[in-house]
Amino acid sequence: MKELTKEVYLDWYENMLFWRKFEDKLAALYIQQKVRGFLHLYNGQEAILAGCLHAMDLSKDKMITAYRNHVQPIGMGVDPRKVMAELLGKATGTSQGLGGSMHIFSKEHRFYGGHGIVGGQIPLGAGLAFADKYKGIDAATLTFFGDGAARQGSLHEAFNMAMLWKLPVIFICENNGYAMGTSVERTANHVDVWKLGLGYEMPSYAVDAMNPVKVAEAVYDAIERARKGEGPTFLEMKTYRYRGHSMSDAQHYRTKAEVEEYKKIDPITQVLDTIKENNWASDEEIEEIDNRVRDLVKECEQFAEESPYPDTSVMYDVVYEQEDYPFLPHKL
Ligand SMILES: Cc1ncc(C[n+]2csc(CCOP(=O)(O)OP(=O)(O)O)c2C)c(N)n1
Ligand SMILES: [Mg+2]
């Protein structure tokens, strides 16, 4: 794995802080009704993305996830201004404003969405890995899903085929403790999600996912296995989300004290503590990073606000259309 240098920690701090502030801004814009529809935020789970990106080869590896999907494409190299524009439904967005919050996508950056159907992306991730293996491309696909999605049948079908065909896919369950308001304890008779892989003899592990180092190490080993043709790995990332499931969640299913307990092991604070313990940056340098982050969030907001909405003429251009569909006229 690439060395964990001072520069890596400083990058982690800046990137994770940016992702968090970017999403805090989205929450504020949602309240102002500038972001419409659903909005699921990633606050608290940032160490997973930071660790994964460190372990990946960004020139070839792929990523696919569920609807908590705003910061992953940014990590993969998508212009954050375009992501914010997409969330505001603007023509300059990643899908020209026609996708919105749950559907960020960038084929150019090997980020394959953005999926609202719980568990729907698990077989798609296996399919991306199948395509790479079939074409002889030496890449791995990181396939993310939640603890709730882990209980879907699609996971078992995908696990079986991925093991049978030794596909270069890393299945990553982001276990944040809840599927909407339902705790892991209430969805199954065991809480060790990683054990679901054992029935398929898939290498399966639990990871302390509040720490990007632990994430990077586990994901690096999994990617190595995939590149060697040894097939998939299943990683259960033990994490936590600070905000509700989506913006319309009153959070009656958990206590404020529980959230505070997790904030004590906050991933960004852990990285900052390491920076400070090693004297890798002065207070002034940290402040410079904080200011850069604040300015970039502002720039994204300004770009999105000033961008035009898509022209209504494109409204039906991206809707599935079947020429010989017999029941309704296909052009409205
Ligand atoms: C097939 C399907 N069933 C139900 C829903 C409604 N739903 C949306 S998110 C969600 C919970 C998923 O929780 P989890 O997989 O733990 O992901 P998290 O939101 O915690 O990241 C549910 C039930 C859906 N979108 N798709
Ligand atoms: Mg969950």
pLDDT digits (tens, 9 = 90+) for 312-330: 888 777 777 777 877 766 5
Neighbours of 49 (CB within 10 A): 26
Which 3 state secondary structure label does DSSP give 149?
A: helix
Cis status of the peptide bond prior to 120, with omega within 30 of 0: no
CA distance 141 to 311: 35
Identify the pLDDT of residue 328.
64
Shortest-distance Cα residue to atom 21 of ligand 1: 146
Both tokens of 206, joined, read 């639990």
Residue 20 inside a domain? The answer is yes
Please report whether residue 184 resides in a domain: yes
The domain of 294 spans: 6-318
Within a domain: residue 324? no
CA separation for the pair 317, 70 (Å, rounded): 24
CA angle 217, 119, 17 (to 5 degrees): 45
Does the structure show a pLDDT above 90 at 208?
Answer: yes
Q: Which residues contact residue 44 at a Cβ distance below 8 angstroms, ignoring those fewer than 6 apart?
A: 176, 239, 240, 241, 242, 243, 262, 266, 267
CB 94 within 8 A of CB 104: yes
**Tokens read off for 147:** 């603890």
Alpha helices (H) along the chain: 6-31, 46-55, 71-75, 80-87, 121-135, 153-164, 212-227, 256-263, 267-277, 283-306
DSSP string, 232-248: -EEEEEE---SS-SSTT
Ligand with the closest atom to the CA of 175: 2
Q: What is the mean pLDDT of residues 130-146?
A: 98
pLDDT-based confidence at residue 78 (cuts at 50, 70, 90): very high
For 309, which DSSP code? Answer: P
pTM, entire model: 0.96
Mean pLDDT of the chain: 96
Residue 332: inside a domain, yes or no?
no
What are 104's two structure tokens?
């960020």
For the chain, the domain total comes to 1
Tell whether ligand 1 has an atom less than 6 A from the beta carbon of residue 149: yes
Residue 330 in tokens: 């296909």
The pLDDT-based confidence of 332 (bands split at 50, 70, 90) is very low
CA distances from 282 to 77, 176, 271, 272, 274 (A): 28, 33, 14, 11, 13
Give me the residues near ligand 2 (ion), CB cutoff below 5 Å: 146-147, 176, 179
pLDDT at 77 exceeding the cut of 80: yes
pLDDT at residue 331, as a whole number: 56
**Cα 280 from chain centroid (whole Å):** 28
With 0-12 / 13-18 / 19 or more C-beta atoms within 10 angstroms meaning exposed / middle / buried, residue 242 is middle
C-alpha 178 – ligand 2 centre gap (Å): 4
- Average confidence (pLDDT) over 235-252: 96
As a whole number of angstroms, the distance between CA 62 and CA 84 comes to 22
Residue 330 lies in a domain: no
Given a contact cutoff of 8 angstroms between Cβ atoms, the answer to whether 123 and 117 are in contact is: no
The verdict on the CB of residue 122 being under 6 Å from ligand 1 is: no
Is 249 inside a domain boundary? yes
Report how far ligand 2's centroid is from the alpha carbon of 226 (Å): 26
Position 24 pLDDT exceeds 50: yes
Within 32-180, residue ranges assigned H as helices are 46-55, 71-75, 80-87, 121-135, 153-164
Is position 221 within any domain? Answer: yes
Distance 219 CA to ligand 2 centre (A): 20
Amino acid identity at 295:
D
Listed in order, strand segments (DSSP E) in 59-203 are 62-64, 141-146, 169-175, 178-179, 182-183
For the cut 60, the answer to whether the pLDDT of residue 196 exceeds it is yes
Q: Is the dihedral of CA 182, 188, 189, 190 positive or negative?
A: negative
Region 148-156: mean pLDDT is 97
Inter-residue contact 16 to 239 (CB < 8 Å):
no
Closest-CA residue, ligand 1 atom 8, reads 118
Q: Ligand 2 centroid vs 228 CA: distance in angstroms?
A: 31
pLDDT of residue 329: 63
Of the bound ligands, which one is closest to the alpha carbon of residue 244? 1
Expressed in angstroms and rounded, the spacing between residue 116 Cα and the centre of ligand 1 is 8
Ligand 2 geometric centre to CA of 16 (Å): 20
Binding site membership of 117 for ligand 1 (Cβ less than 6 Å): yes
Q: What is the mean pLDDT of residues 238-261?
A: 96
User: Quick check: CB of 176 below 6 Å from ligand 1?
Assistant: yes
Among 147, 151, 180, 242, name the best residue to mutate to test ligand 1's pocket (greatest count of ligand atoms within 8 A of Cβ).
180
- Report the CATH number at residue 84: 3.40.50.970
* Ligand 1 contact, 162 CB (< 6 A): no
> Which ligand 1 atom minimizes the distance to the CA of 174?
21
Q: Is the pLDDT of residue 175 over 80?
A: yes
Is 325 domain-assigned? no
What per-residue confidence (pLDDT) applies to 68? 98
Q: Does residue 148 line the site of ligand 1, with CB under 6 A? A: yes
